[in-house]
């Protein structure tokens, strides 16, 4: 059983270059579940952290398909099966009349699925984050450079991970608890 995601080690570094070097070293050691925090964007940090799997585009596509085809089916069912009405001699399943509403619902459902996926991927709504319990972390928005080695990393071991972080000469290492 893997450790909860909310646990691990938080190391503080004195500048952006030290943070970037630490992330690269940890990635070279095989750690994959890293998060970095800095008061301003650090060039190269996103690449050093490695690729992030993003399933939101797929979710948006599925939402759009669901909205569009669901609306087309609903309009067809209402016009052909449930309540057929002869309007101007047109056939019951007059698809050109169905397109505008289906297009609008495609866009609406794609946007709603995208927003819901983004909120879920970001872990929102969340009232408290475990990093807020670390006293030194309040400096992350002012002058602190932090790397969080999460406990759900496959290579994580409490003692070995602490030693790996200590070799990088951080200013401080704090335990992150649930």
- Scan for tokens 């579940």, then name that residue: 33
Q: How far apart are CA 157 and CA 150, in angstroms?
A: 10
Q: Are residues 116 and 147 in the same domain?
A: no
Q: What tens digit of pLDDT does each residue of 117-159 get?
A: 999 988 888 888 888 889 889 888 888 999 999 999 999 999 9
The answer to the question of residue 114 being in a domain is yes
Q: What is the pLDDT of residue 1?
A: 45
3 state SS of 69? helix
Q: What is the pLDDT of residue 126?
A: 82
The answer to the question of residue 51 being in a domain is no
Residue among 24, 4, 7, 5 at smallest CA distance from 164: 24
Q: How far apart are CA 25 and CA 49, in angstroms?
A: 10
Prior bond to 125 cis, omega within 30? yes
Q: How far apart are CA 24 and CA 84, in angstroms?
A: 66
The answer to the question of residue 2 being in a domain is no
Structural domain boundaries enclosing 81: 56-121
Q: What tens digit of pLDDT does each residue of 48-94 get?
A: 999 888 899 999 999 999 999 999 999 999 999 998 888 888 888 88
pLDDT score of 2 more than 60? no
Total domains in the chain come to 2
pLDDT score of 3 more than 60? no
């Amino acid at each position: 059983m893997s450790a909860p995601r909310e646990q691990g080690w938080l190391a503080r570094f004195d500048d952006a270059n030290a943070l970037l070097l630490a992330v690269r070293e940890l990635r070279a050691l095989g750690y994959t579940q890293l998060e970095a925090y800095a008061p301003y964007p650090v060039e190269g940090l996103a690449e050093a952290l490695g690729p992030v799997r993003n399933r939101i585009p797929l979710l948006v596509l599925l939402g759009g398909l669901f909205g569009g085809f669901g609306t087309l089916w609903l309009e067809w069912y209402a016009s052909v099966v449930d309540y057929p009405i002869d309007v101007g001699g047109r056939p019951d399943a007059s698809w050109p009349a169905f397109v505008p509403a289906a297009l609008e619902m495609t866009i609406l459902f794609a946007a709603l699925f995208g927003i819901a996926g983004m909120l879920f991927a970001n872990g929102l709504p969340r009232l408290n984050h475990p990093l807020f319990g670390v006293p030194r972390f309040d400096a992350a928005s002012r002058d602190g450079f932090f790397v969080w080695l999460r406990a759900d990393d496959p290579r994580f071991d409490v003692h070995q991970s602490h030693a790996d972080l200590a070799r990088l000469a951080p200013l401080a290492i704090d335990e992150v608890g649930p």
